[in-house]
Amino acid sequence: MTRKKGKPISFDAMIKFFLQNYKIPTKTDFDRLEKRIDQLERLIRSTAASGRSRATVPAGRGGRGGTTAMDTVYNVIKRSRNGASYKYIQSKTGYDEKKIRNIIFRLNKLEKITRQSRGIYTARSSQPQ
């Protein structure tokens, strides 16, 4: 009995088959992994360079241990008589611009503060029930 001769299997196809079947990582897999590790290292360096963690309240700069960032910003606004400017809030809390913008947006939405004029915020005198 003669054997049918079909299309010969290439060596590259055979190697690819074994790599996929046995889940052996390839050079592209290692390149992707290396790229992701570099991204994580940059993130760690930038966080360490800022000198503090995102979750902590800076000691002695408007916050007490256990208070949230929103409480800290609200207390700064509440203590100012003529309203607190954006730069004043930033100097008292030490938070970055994006964080303060988000907190002011949330406080305004919760109706805890009002916008007196552009960049000037005051605490509401009576809280809605």
pLDDT tens per residue, range 66-84: 688 889 999 999 888 888 8
Q: Do 77 and 117 belong together in one domain?
A: yes
Per-residue pLDDT, 53: 52
Report the pLDDT value the prediction gives residue 4, as an integer from 0 to 100.
Answer: 65
pLDDT at 129: 47
Low-confidence stretches of the chain (pLDDT < 50) are: 56-63, 129
Residue 3 falls within a domain, yes or no?
no
Q: What is the pLDDT of residue 63?
A: 46
In the chain, which residue ranges form alpha helices assigned H by DSSP?
11-21, 27-50, 69-79, 86-93, 97-109
- In total, how many domains does the chain have? 2
Same domain (yes/no): 73, 117? yes
pLDDT (0 to 100) of residue 67: 80
The mean of the pLDDT values for the chain is 81
In a domain, 55, yes or no: no
Tell whether 59 is covered by a domain.
no
Is the domain of 112 the same as that of 78?
Answer: yes
Please report how many Cα atoms fall inside a 13 Å half-sphere around the Cα of residue 128, on the Cβ side: 7
pLDDT at position 21, please? 92
The whole-number pLDDT of residue 52 equals: 55
N-terminal to C-terminal alpha carbon distance within the chain: 93
Domain range for 74 is 69-123
Establish if 21 belongs to a structural domain: yes
Q: Sheet containing 113-117: which strands, arranged edge to edge?
A: 84-85, 120-123, 113-117
